[in-house]
Amino acid sequence: MGPQDQPDYVNAVAEIASSLAPMALLSRLQKIEHLRGRNRDGGRWTARTLDLDILLIGNEIIQMPDLLVPHPGIKEREFVLYPLHEIAPDLQFPCGNSLKSVLKKVSRNGLFVIEKEIKWGKELK
């Protein structure tokens, strides 16, 4: 998905707990992007300062004009799948496929880990 000639970038996956409804969560994430300098000028797949996506919400399938969950490209993007495997190796997608089975079909394409641990007052493992 998207052009292959973009500059290098750092990608990460995080699991969060939220009491927000899906559209409210999307709105909050887009506000954070805006506060960090993201300009949504209508261009798709362009370089950006920050891109926060909702990949999954449990086993929910959401099909709304502004929100598709699971994220439409989740099973094709090595930069999502490999970090996701680090935090949820036994994950099952809502369709029933396992993350492990999907990873067998997706090359790393030069993807590499730059850090295993991040320190924000305490070490995360």
What is the tens place of the pLDDT at every residue in 33-76? 888 887 777 665 556 668 899 999 999 999 999 999 999 989 99
Helix (H, G, I), strand (E, B) or coil at 103: helix
Does 5 participate in catalysis according to the annotation? Answer: no
DSSP-assigned beta bridge partners for residue 119? 123
pLDDT value at 97 more than 90: yes
Selected residue with higher pLDDT from 90 and 11: 90
Concerning whether 40 is annotated as a catalytic residue, the answer is no
Which of 107, 83, 29, 91 has the alpha carbon at shortest distance from 56?
Answer: 91
Is 51 among the catalytic positions?
A: yes
Over residues 21-25, mean pLDDT: 97
Strand partners, 92: 98
Instruction: Give me the count of residues in the chain.
Output: 125
Q: Which residue among 44, 53, 77, 108 is the active-site one?
A: 53
Assign 1 a pLDDT band (cuts: 50, 70, 90): very low
Share of the chain above pLDDT 70, in %: 76
Residues linked to residue 68 through DSSP beta bridges, in sequence order? 63
Asked if the model's pLDDT at residue 124 lies above 50, the reply is no
Q: What's the mean pLDDT when you consider all of the chain?
A: 84
The residues that bridge with 67 in the sheet, in sequence order, are 64
Question: Does this model's pTM top 0.75?
Answer: yes
* Per annotation, catalytic residue among 28, 36, 40, 51: 51
